[in-house]
Chain A
Amino acid sequence: MSTTVSQLDEVKTGRWSGGKSPFNVEYGKIMMWFFLTSDAFTFSAFLIYYGTQRFAHLTWPDPDKVFQSIPFVADHGYPLVFVGIMTFILIMSSVTMVLAVEAGHRRSKKEVVWWMVATIIGGLMFIGCQALEWTHLHHQGFWWGHIPTQEGVSPEVALAPYFTKEISEVSALQFANLFFTITGFHGFHVSVGILLNIIVLGMVLANTFERRGSYLMVEKVGLYWHFVDLVWVFVFTFFYLV
């Protein structure tokens, strides 16, 4: 009896030879990653379009002059301060989210609940700040298709406070439209993230994951939440810093 097998008949044990999960990632998590990749493409398209418009125009509203208020504290003179607070809130809520995921690995239900509550509060604070910022800009006259105007005054005078170089109505309009579209789309993502977090928090409280034996769902919703934070990092740079 021959016990040798031909090379073709040998059972392959490689990662991709079947019988095991080659990525070693659960299906739902892979799908969340692929969704986020496609969503990243959408945001990239928005931001690249913004960049192109800004690059193509000779003049553009100066972000330091458009965003210089701190609601309830100062109306002008403090560029970057309020958006700095917003950035800090979002990074902080990202950290509480990882801590929830980390607690989930240890199957510590109590910690998962508290860190998720902290994440949701962070998200709500961020959305609140964004609402304040939008309200402020809206009062100044910026909106989709609208730029600040004053009766009996030429557009150049009405727009003068927002420009450092020459003044352009087209640039101001493009800026207003893109600002509200992009931060609006991001804010919509944050709102969805808060809702998903609340649903998953409910499932944690209902012991769903305790029974399932794994807190993987916390991880999936966490991926989404970090992505929202990631997008904000780019929005912050291209709208407020550059």
Chain B
Amino acid sequence: MVSQHNDTVEHEGAEHHDGMTKGKIWRVFFYLLALTALEFFIALALVHGGVIEKGLGVNIVYIILTLLKAYYIVAYFMHLKYETFGFIMSITIVFLFIIYFIVLMLTEGTYLKSHYNPFPFWPNP
């Protein structure tokens, strides 16, 4: 069974890196560029052009596009998609804490907002 022990660097390098070719790298680059361009289009043409108003709706669209870009960077550029399932889980599962943190801080923010309310400007005129 010792012969199965294959932790030499060279072997690993060859084994699971057939995922990214030059063509694929450029394709991911164009996806990222297109998503960024879309964000600019929404911000400059639609929001500044007065087609849609700044607010929760647009922000959700921005956040979805951002998460999509993050996915492409992590999955393809950082190569996480081609790692083993166990490794992907050990890296990503912990971000549940971040989601929980966002929920907590939004709750906290709501509380703060309701208490800033009577004193919107400081120093008060």
| Contact present for A102 and B105 (CB under 8 Å) | no
Q: In whole angstroms, what is the CA distance A219 to B125 when docked?
A: 57
- Interface size, chain B (Cβ < 8 Å): 65
Give the distance to chain B from A67, nearest Cβ to Cβ, in Å. 12
Q: In whole angstroms, what is the CA distance A15 to B95 when docked?
A: 25
- CB closest chain-B residue, reference A95: B29
Q: In whole angstroms, what is the CA distance A13 to B32 when docked?
A: 41
Q: In whole angstroms, what is the CA distance A234 to B63 when docked?
A: 9
* Chain B residues, CB < 8 A from A24: 12, 15-16, 83-84, 87
| Contact present for B73 and A170 (CB under 8 Å) | no
Instruction: For chain A, residues 99 to 157, give those with C-beta under 8 angstroms from any C-beta of chain B.
Output: 99, 101-102, 105, 156
Mark B91-119 against chain A: 1 for CB-CB distance below 8 A, else 0.
Answer: 10011011001100110111011001100
Q: In whole angstroms, what is the CA distance A37 to B88 when docked?
A: 12
A203 within 8 Å of B by Cβ? no
A-B contact pairs, 22 of them (CB 8 A): A13-B1, A15-B84, A33-B91, A34-B91, A41-B97, A44-B101, A48-B101, A52-B108, A55-B106, A58-B113, A101-B20, A102-B20, A169-B121, A169-B122, A169-B123, A212-B9, A216-B9, A223-B78, A229-B73, A234-B66, A237-B65, A241-B39
Chain B contact residues, CB within 8 Å of chain A: 1-2, 4-7, 9-10, 12-17, 20-22, 25-26, 29, 32-33, 36, 39-40, 43-44, 48, 59, 62-63, 65-66, 69-70, 73-74, 77-78, 83-84, 86-87, 90-91, 94-95, 97-98, 101-102, 105-106, 108-110, 112-113, 116-117, 120-123, 125
